[in-house]
Amino acid sequence: MREATVLRARMLSPQVRELTLDPGAGHTFVPGHWVTLYLDREGDEPLKRQYSIASAPRADGTFDIAVTLVPCGPMSTFLHEAKVGARIRMMDAQGLFVLEPMERPLLFVATGTGIAPFRAMLQEIDKKAHAGTPLIMLFGCRSEEDLLYRDELEALAARWPRFRYLPTLSRPHDGWSLRRGWVQSHLPELIAELGTDVDVYVCGLTKMVKDVRRICREELGVDRKRVHVERYD
């Protein structure tokens, strides 16, 4: 157990707040890992919640998390109200949702704050100059204002010829000209483009993750070992 300090905070969308945390010396992680945060409660067991790290490792050891405000949710409310300098108990990072060797095209599929581990992975790929591997980021959310890290991902797509950022909205406004609907509906097209010898990484709510895994494996012919999943509900 260790204590992390809130260094910075910003709103990514009306419901999602990003916190930059300093976990202190000796903390290490790999993109795709998550941390467990604890909230002490008087007369009750501490509340704990897991959050994917939304940034690649940095020289100063700090990292970002993205927190959706859940109505009446004590942990998310606490994190949305936490001031710079606040201290939060946490366990060291862990997890198995990490990048395999980049030997084939990649399809990242995320909804909501499920984009957090992919932001970390993309930052790490960028640092190591592996941008030649075909890579698609399919990101689904309700409305345009919910597109987390949009500017970053669009800038990355402009710099990497082989990277495509594909947002899709389930409740778009009338002027939205890009993809519409759930991420599941776009899988046949993208797997046909990348081929079935592809690594698919999926992160989001359980129903979406299960649907994407089933479609890729049972309908589109992707090897079950090549579909990597992480869910957070």
Question: Which of 110, 154, 161, 168 lies closest to 134, judged by CA?
Answer: 161
Does pLDDT of 130 surpass 60? Answer: no
How far, in Å, CA of 186 to CA of 198, rounded? 15
What digits encode the pLDDT tens for the residues 109-129? 999 999 999 999 999 998 876
Q: Check residue 44 and give its pLDDT.
A: 82
Does 3.40.50.80 match the CATH number of domain 106-231?
Answer: yes
Query: β-strands 44-52, 106-111: how paired?
Result: unpaired
Average pLDDT score, the chain? 95
Q: Which residues of 133-160 are buried (b: 16+ CB within 10 A; e: fewer)?
A: ebbbbbbbbeebebbbbbeebeebbeeb
Name the token pair of 12: 């990514």
Summarize pLDDT for 44-78 with one digit per residue, the tens.
889 999 999 999 999 999 999 999 999 989 999 99
pLDDT tens readout for residues 153-198: 999 999 988 999 999 999 998 889 989 999 999 999 999 999 999 9
Region 6-20: what's the mean pLDDT?
Answer: 98
Q: Is the pTM of this model over 0.85?
A: yes
For the chain, give every residue range classified as CATH 3.40.50.80: 106-231
* CATH 2.40.30.10 domain span(s) along the chain: 2-94
pLDDT exceeds cutoff 70 at 131:
no
Q: What 3-state class would DSSP assign to 91?
A: strand
For residue 96, what is the DSSP state? S
Fold topology of 2-94: Elongation Factor Tu (Ef-tu); domain 3 (2.40.30)
